[in-house]
């Protein structure tokens, strides 16, 4: 993989990633006249839930569903000069988000607590938010990228995970893709994102607590025990010698698949070459199964659960959550009173039925 580093007109970093032996010179300049990025994010501590909340009110003005001919993720070509990518073509690009929730340049002069709330601690919204664009072709999807491009994206995810984990103050790196307007996507060009958080996220904290509790109660490894049970159970969707994709027995979402490597690794950067090859193939397979399930594209979130940077790494097992809120043709699963109010999920599907549906040949 060949990496080329450039800067956008407002100083944000732009990285081109090309497969070995196929990289042209990446010398195009960003011609736009852009103001400096201004980030006013804060972290506020919720004392009842014991969780950090990110406030990023400046994101209200971010780009929202532009027409295809004004897509900011397409390459710069005649008649389309105002994009985030100055080159006329590219393979995979990564750049700092123009409207970031977290930023390394955030204002650090914040009071210790929220106004009138002495139990609600404040911290600067430090971190980094990156956009990962999978292809220069606007009308593609990840499921149609092909093995070589998917493998390049896996390598990019791993490289960015390693680099962002090295930033002082970053505690967790989250790689993810939102796909479909129903999910809340504001740009239709195929892309994902990476968040480098200054805290360990609530989900990871909760899983680590469950791992510790399982070890204390049974002496076993919770991740290993779950994976061993699912690999021999009725909910396997697809697999290969290095990975297994299955519908979890207690799936929360109408369509949900978890993808686990067979070897314990803390994050994407720790995968070896064979595991990355196998992941690219299996991920395309599973995404294809999602895409074919209904007559219209399946909206989804693909969320890589990686180990925290500084703790719990020896206990963590990398895995992917791929899930959709579509429960039937033309019907979505809304997070209503029980889910949104109490965090208690009520599923409209049965994991065993979903696994059987996704296993069905095209």
- The C-alpha angle with vertex 317 and arms to 299 and 202, in degrees rounded to 5, equals 65
Place of tokens 């962002």: 164
Quick check: 151 and 81 in contact, CB under 8 A?
Answer: no
Question: Catalytic: 138?
Answer: no
Tokens of 301: 């979130």
* Residue 1 three-state SS: coil
Of the candidates 208, 354, 201, the one whose C-alpha atom is nearest the C-alpha of residue 286 is: 354
C-alpha radius of gyration, the chain, whole number: 21
Quick check: 282 and 245 in contact, CB under 8 A?
Answer: yes
* Residue 238 three-state SS: strand
Q: d(Cα 261, Cα 271) in Å, to the nearest integer?
A: 9
Q: Which of 189, 191, 242, 319 is catalytic?
A: 191
Place of tokens 């996507």: 185
For residue 102, what is the DSSP state?
Answer: S
Active-site residue set: 191
């Amino acid at each position: 993989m060949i990496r080329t580093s450039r800067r956008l007109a407002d100083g944000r970093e732009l990285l081109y990633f090309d497969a070995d032996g196929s990289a042209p010179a990446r010398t195009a300049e960003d011609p736009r006249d852009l103001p400096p990025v201004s980030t006013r994010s804060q972290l506020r501590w919720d004392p009842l839930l014991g969780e950090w909340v990110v406030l990023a009110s400046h994101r209200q003005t971010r780009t929202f569903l532009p027409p295809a001919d004004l897509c900011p993720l397409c390459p710069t070509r005649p008649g389309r000069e105002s994009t985030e990518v100055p080159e006329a073509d590219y393979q995979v690009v990564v750049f700092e988000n123009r409207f970031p929730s977290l930023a390394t340049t955030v204002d650090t002069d914040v009071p210790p607590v929220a106004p009138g709330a002495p139990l609600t601690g404040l911290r600067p919204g430090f971190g980094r938010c990156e956009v990962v664009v999978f292809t220069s072709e606007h009308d593609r999807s990840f499921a149609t990228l092909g093995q070589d491009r998917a493998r390049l994206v896996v390598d990019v995810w791993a490289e960015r995970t390693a680099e962002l984990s090295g930033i002082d103050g970053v505690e967790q790196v989250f790689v993810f893709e939102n796909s479909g307007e129903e999910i809340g996507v504001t740009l239709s060009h195929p892309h994902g994102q990476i968040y480098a958080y200054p805290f360990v996220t609530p989900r990871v904290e909760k899983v680590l607590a469950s791992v510790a509790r399982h070890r204390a109660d049974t002496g076993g490894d919770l991740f290993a025990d779950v994976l061993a049970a699912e690999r021999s159970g009725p909910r396997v969707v697809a697999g290969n010698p290095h990975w297994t994709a299955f519908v979890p027995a207690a799936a929360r979402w109408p369509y949900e698949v978890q993808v686990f490597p067979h070897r314990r690794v803390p994050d994407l950067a720790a995968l070896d070459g064979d595991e990355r090859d196998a992941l690219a193939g299996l991920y395309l397979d599973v995404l294809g199964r999602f895409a074919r399930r209904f007559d219209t594209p399946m909206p989804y979130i693909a969320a890589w659960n990686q180990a925290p940077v500084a703790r719990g790494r020896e206990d963590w097992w990398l895995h992917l959550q791929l899930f959709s809120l579509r429960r039937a043709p033309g019907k979505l699963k809304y997070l209503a009173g029980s889910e949104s109010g109490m965090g208690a999920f009520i599923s409209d599907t049965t994991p065993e039925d979903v696994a059987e549906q996704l296993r069905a040949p095209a």
